[in-house]
Amino acid sequence: MTASFPVRGQPPAGKSDGAGEIVMVEADVIIPVYKPTLRLIDLLDRLRSQTYPVHRIILINTEKRYFDAFADEKFWRRYDNLLVKHVTKREFDHGGTRNFGVSFSDAPYFIMMTDDALPEDDKLTEHLLMPFEDKRVAMSYARQTPGEGCGIIESYTRSFNYPGESRIKSAEDIRDMGIKAFFASNVCAAYRREVFDELGGFPGHTIFNEDMIYARGLLDAGYSIAYAAQAKVAHSHNYSGLQQLKRNFDLGVSHAEHPEVFGGILAESEGIRLVKETCGYLWKAGKPWLIFKLIWQSGCKYIGYFMGKRYQSIPGWMVKKLSMNREYWIK
């Protein structure tokens, strides 16, 4: 059954230090990084100013030469709780690389983020950890809001996928909610480490959707997922039609490779509902000409997803052309 949780509360309480004081439970943040920019410094500074302090920030950087060119002595002096580990582009994997990052954390909770997501305020970690007061909750994820320069279509997509009301989801919701019951995103998501270890972490080799694959297993094991709408990060993309096709090709591959997660659930129906509602929104907003752009982008998404689900029938050279993650196919 879907349930909401109060927006006011407390993050999980720690143990007494022996003098009557309650020690705050430690939470680490783990961020895969590739070709870092000044946006990473913005992200790190915002994490440093959180009301619920971050214990350690663990960066898993792809290709050491890019980070060495970015990080000067001032950068290293700026952050005293930072740990950086490097992998090669060939070694990078959406699930395996994140598991690698978790291996350097000994905190009872950890937060996964991407390097292009920015906390909207200083209460992100506080609101993200608050649902864990419910012992059934083993994962929570943040609300994604439109970033700077986000187009109107993508902006509406954010509000469609990330509404303003918090909720808790369990396995009982799969029948009514379908794929939305285990929808979650590692753009910004928190995990209970004990359960993460119990379930074996993220899938070790996956092209996409490591977060949702894990989330489905979590529900099947009897735990719950919290959507924490008060925990907000600015994150969005203005993808071209070709980029949408490639991204959704990888999405289709993920669904094809994990029938135990996505089998029997019609993901397309949720996409159709999004298109219909976005059309209505654009019409009411007085921008009906953008409906043609929406139809083009939606067509690219569908073609990519359709082909991705049938990737085994497509020549290998074409699969690499259609995928956003070429390295996945040469491992």
- Over the stretch 207-255, which tens digit does the pLDDT of each residue have? 999 999 999 999 999 999 999 999 999 998 889 999 999 999 999 999 9
Low-confidence winner among 60-69, 179-188, 257-266, 305-314 (lowest mean pLDDT): 257-266
**pTM to 2 decimal places:** 0.91
3-state secondary structure of 45: helix
- Over the stretch 101-135, which tens digit does the pLDDT of each residue have? 999 999 999 999 999 999 999 999 999 999 999 99
What mean pLDDT value characterizes the chain?
Answer: 91
- Classify the C-alpha dihedral 308-87-113-16 as positive or negative: positive
HSE-CB for 261 with a 13 A CA cutoff: 24
What confidence category does residue 270 fall into, taking pLDDT thresholds of 50, 70 and 90? confident
CA distance 37 to 60: 15
Structure tokens at 306: 């359709």
* Predicted pLDDT of residue 130: 96
* Reduced DSSP (H G I as helix, E B as strand, rest coil) percent helix, strand, coil of the chain, to 5: 45, 20, 35
Phi, psi of 100 (to 5 degrees): -60, -45
CA distance 193 to 262: 25
Q: What is the DSSP string of 153-177?
A: HHHHHHHHHS-SS-EEE-GGGHHHH
Contact between 181 and 174 under an 8 Å Cβ cutoff? The reply is: yes
* Predicted pLDDT of residue 6: 44
* Predicted pLDDT of residue 201: 97
Question: Which residue is associated with the tokens 């100013």?
Answer: 49
Once rounded to an integer, what is the mean pLDDT over residues 66-77? 93
